[in-house]
Amino acid sequence: MSQHDVIIIGAGFSGMYQLYTLRDQLGFDALVIEAGDDVGGTWYWNRYPGARVDIQSIEYSYSFSEELQQEWDWTERYSAQPEIRAYAEHVADRFDLRRDILFGTRVTALDWDESATEWTVTTADGQTRTARFVIAATGCLSVPSRPRFAGMDDFEGDLYWTSEYPQGTDLSGKRVAVIGTGSSGLQVITAVAPEVADLTVFQRTPSYAIPAHNEPADARLAAVRPDYESFREASRASLLGFQCVEGAIPVLELTEDAARVELDSAWAEGGLCLNTRFPDAGTDPAANAVVAEYARGQIRAKVTDPVVAEKLSPRTYPIGSKRMCVDTGYYETYNRPNVHLVDLRETPIERFTPTGIATMSGDYAFDVIIMATGFDAMTGALNAIDIRAGGQRLADKWAHGPRTYLGLMSHGFPNLFTVTGPQSPSVLSNMMTSIEFHVEWIADTLKYLRENDIQRIEPDLDAEDNWVRTNNDLANLTLMPQAASWYMGANIPGKEQVFLPFVGGVGLYRQVVQGMTLNHHGFELA
Ligand code: FAD
């Protein structure tokens, strides 16, 4: 049985940087265990047509190496998956990360041995390893949600999941269905529509999509490169971990014309910054309704068939309470003669058939069905591992929603850290900003423990209870819990519905964590 100081689970952007901090900067013996066959995590797995970032690449990138950010050239404002994956591979090469990553290996269990003060890590091949510390860099959107429809196995065409999309497929001339209209769905729909003979989109809940206004990255790169660090500092202090105009005047205090000017400006800028223009958009239903109606007006302006435009217009949840999408011509796709929309609220899917899909309104024939049905977000990958300590399973402890201190650790599970765990800003932020903060916090903590000859760290139960309460209270002050979203776990049957990320913003969260963990407040050290 091999022994390590630290085992890191996952070789996405979190695990890669964690390895670099612990091995290269601090000299720990660290091993990464990764289920996939190479680095990149999300960007290794999600290879569907149109996969692309929804946060600008100059923001959605590592800031820890000045040389890296000076030398890496982004070609587009919003890079496509192959470029992000190439970036991950470049980072792995540049810092020689792969030699300490065990690929193609899934961690199945973690067992805490109190007397030895170490974790036993079991992998799917039956091997065990031990480590004093384990860091779950397992990803917030790494376990696909796989809804089952009656007759699914009978379908004789090709069935693809966006998160495991086969390479080298050619959809030209094919009759294609896409199920799901979240971010991945929108991207794949927009990308394949011009290529296929016929595309039918099955939509349960429409998303709001804001234009990307994608373009070459050169000018923006040239502007930030002379002082990338100040640019990054501003992102770290921001609400979302990337730079948006954060307006101070409530939309309800503006005249209609003044509100329109702000909204037009946000729309022209594009991306995920619409709600941040107004401090009341996320908390006051009337303010939110102003922004939502503006966005629906944009849909009506783009989609020529008013019936289709209405079906594409979200009306059942506040704007921003489900993840908004960033699009490149999504709504215009529905003006194409080969694209059709099926509203599943009117005509639900009854079953799959050998030739396609049967709904209450009729049968559809397809060569290919693409499932863009999302993920078991934030807790899925952690609960998939059988994590046990002191006779307790983490999945049982979290059965009614995750319980963490600062989104970083959970009481009863010593020496186990989570990168961008539940109850941290995580998926409500530019994940790169959040990943770097957590990775550095964990590295600083392990350094402190080593320097002070401390073997064990565990959050206090009281501190954890307070943090859970704070998260829930904060979320309930906003409109966020009003949507049946994956932020709430609502897309997974049987999952307790609790708002999963910390809603107070990246800048505030950093201040709180830095303040509260001075002198390791809220932790028991031994
Ligand atoms: P991941 O990239 O998910 O990596 C986790 C890794 O852990 C995976 O490779 C997985 O195989 C491995 N793993 C999990 N469990 C185990 C186990 N038990 N044993 C072994 N290995 C395991 N965020 C943004 O901020 N901006 C974006 O534009 C953006 N776009 C996205 C687009 C898509 C399609 C998706 C799915 C997510 C997107 N995200 C985006 C979120 C994205 O997940 C994060 O930005 C980031 O890539 C997460 O990095 P990570 O290393 O924490 O997790």
- 41 Cα–ligand 1 center, Å: 5
- Ligand 1 atom closest to Cα of residue 381: 15
Q: In this predicted structure, what is the pLDDT of residue 519?
A: 75
Are 252 and 279 a contacting pair, CB within 8 Å? no
**Closest ligand 1 atom, CA of 54?**
28
The closest residue, in CA terms, to atom 8 on ligand 1 is: 41
- Weakly modelled stretches of the chain, pLDDT under 70: none
Protein residue with least CA distance to atom 9, ligand 1:
41
80: which DSSP letter? B
216 three-state secondary structure: strand
Q: Report the distance separating Cα 429 and Cα 238, nearest Å.
A: 10
Beta strands in 281-425 (DSSP E): 325-327, 339-343, 349-352, 356-359, 362-365, 368-371, 386-389, 392-393, 416-418
- Residue 32 CA, ligand 1 centroid: distance in Å: 15
> Edge-to-edge strand order for the sheet containing 198-203?
158-161, 368-371, 175-179, 198-203, 339-343
- Asked casually if ipTM beats, i.e. exceeds, 0.90, the reply is yes
Q: Whose CA is nearest to atom 12 of ligand 1?
A: 10
Q: What is the dihedral of CA 460, 22, 15, 507, to 10 degrees?
A: 60
Residue 518: the pLDDT is 79
Pocket test for ligand 1, best of 207, 431, 491 (most atoms within 8 A of CB): 431
Q: Which atom of ligand 1 is nearest to the CA of 375?
A: 36
Give the separation between CA 183 and CA 163, rounded to whole angstroms.
12
93: buried, middle or exposed (CB in 10 Å: 19+, 13-18, 0-12)?
A: exposed
Roughly what angle, to the nearest 10 degrees, separates helices 506-516 and 228-236? 80
Structure confidence at residue 361 (pLDDT): 86
Cβ distance 280 to 246 under 8 Å? no
Structure token digits, residue 498: 């609790």
In angstroms, what is the span from residue 10 Cα to ligand 1's centroid? 9
Ligand 1 atom closest to Cα of residue 162: 34
Give the residue whose CA is nearest to atom 53 of ligand 1: 139
Number of CB atoms found within 10 A of residue 249's CB: 14
Could you give the CA distance from residue 122 to residue 117 in angstroms, rounded to a whole number?
A: 16
Residue 473: alpha-carbon gap to chain centroid: 23
| Contact between residue 422 and residue 403 where contact means Cβ atoms under 8 Å apart | no
Give me ligand 1 centre to Cα 426, in Å: 11
Residue 442's nearest CA partner among 22, 140, 121 is 22
Residue whose CA is closest, atom 45 of ligand 1? Answer: 431
Q: For residue 259, how far is its CA from the centre of ligand 1 (angstroms)? A: 36
Q: How many CA atoms lie within 13 A of 389 on its CB side?
A: 22
Dump strand ranges (E) for 404-462: 416-418, 457-459
CA of 431 to the centre of ligand 1 (A): 9
pLDDT digits (tens, 9 = 90+) for 70-90: 999 999 999 999 999 999 999
Q: Is 3 helix (H, G, I), strand (E, B) or coil?
A: strand
- What's the gap in Å between 307 CA and the centre of ligand 1? 37
- Tell me, in angstroms, the distance from the centre of ligand 1 to residue 162's CA: 14
Nearest CA to ligand 1 atom 33: 42
**d(CA 526, ligand 1 centre) in Å:** 33
Structural tokens at position 268: 């022209």
Query: What's the pLDDT at 428?
Result: 96
Q: How far does the centroid of ligand 1 lie from the alpha carbon of residue 289, in Å?
A: 32
pLDDT of amino acid 516 = 86
> Which sign does the torsion angle of CA 7, 13, 16, 17 carry?
negative
**Which residue puts its alpha carbon closest to atom 30 of ligand 1?**
53
Q: Phi-psi region for residue 284, left (φ > 0), alpha (ψ -120 to 50) or beta?
A: beta
Angle at which helices 506-516 and 431-451 pack, to 10 degrees? 10
Whole-angstrom CA distances from 418 to 108, 273, 514 are 16, 28, 17
Tell the residue nearest (CA) to atom 48 of ligand 1. 139
DSSP string, 84-104: HHHHHHHHHHHTT-GGGEE-S
Spell out which residues line ligand 1, taking CB within 6 angstroms: 9-15, 33-36, 41-42, 44, 46, 51, 53-55, 60, 106-107, 137-142, 184, 381, 385, 419-420, 430-431, 435
d(CA 504, ligand 1 centre) in Å:
22
Give the H or E element holding residue 465: helix 461-476
Q: Which atom of ligand 1 is nearest to the CA of 33?
A: 20
The pLDDT assigned to 426 comes to 96
Question: Measured in angstroms, how far is the CA atom of residue 425 from the centroid of ligand 1?
Answer: 15
Q: What is the CA radius of gyration of the chain?
A: 23
Write the DSSP string, 106-150.
Answer: -EEEEEEETTTTEEEEEETTS-EEEEEEEEE---SS-SB-----T
Taken in order of first residue, the domains within the chain and their CATH numbers are 2-143+376-525 (3.50.50.60), 145-208+319-374 (3.50.50.60)
